[in-house]
Amino acid sequence: MNWDNMPLVVILVLAVIGNNQSVSLAVAVLLVMKFLGLTTWISSIENHGLDIGITILTMVVLTPLALGRVSIVDMMVAFKTQAGLVAIIVGMIVSWVATQGLYFLKASPEATTALIIGTIGGVCFLNGLAIGPLIAGGVAAMIINLLNSLKQ
């Protein structure tokens, strides 16, 4: 086996140990694609996967609306309760933080590896979700910006 595959194999082992099916499946698919020589497909996933994934996640979140389980009245109630208002504000903040994370990951490839390791650890051992790198990147960017501003 090619040593270039070892990080994926290690992540696969951690995912299996951590009983995380989504990470196990993702790594297994990537390994199979590598073994079959489908590197252009892997490059396409790298280039377009995030947009496709965010679109699918957005569809999942909007599914209750499409199925009629949430009405316009239900949505208006969210503006009238403390929990609803907090959820709206936090949703907006986290969305912005994720955007900062996307910029950070593109600008700091050296941090991407560390964020991936942290996310895999969180997914495998803390029952987290693999969506973490964007949020983690945003939080990391904010902390780094804060530390840089304190140095000046």
pLDDT in tens, the chain (152 residues): 578 889 889 888 888 887 778 888 999 999 999 999 999 999 898 888 878 888 898 899 899 999 999 888 988 988 888 888 888 888 889 888 888 888 887 788 777 778 777 877 887 788 877 766 678 788 888 888 888 888 87
C-alpha of 5 from chain center: 22
Cα 82 from Cα 100, distance rounded (Å): 27
Residue type, 95: S
Residues 6 or more apart whose CB falls under 8 angstroms from that of 83 comprise none
pLDDT score for 1? 58
- List strand residue ranges (DSSP E) for the chain, in order: none
The answer to whether residue 151 is domain-embedded is: yes
The answer to whether residue 26 is domain-embedded is: no
The answer to whether residue 40 is domain-embedded is: no
Given a contact cutoff of 8 angstroms between Cβ atoms, the answer to whether 134 and 105 are in contact is yes
Cα 84 from Cα 17, distance rounded (Å): 37
Total domain count for the chain?
A: 1
Print the domain residue range for 141. Answer: 71-152
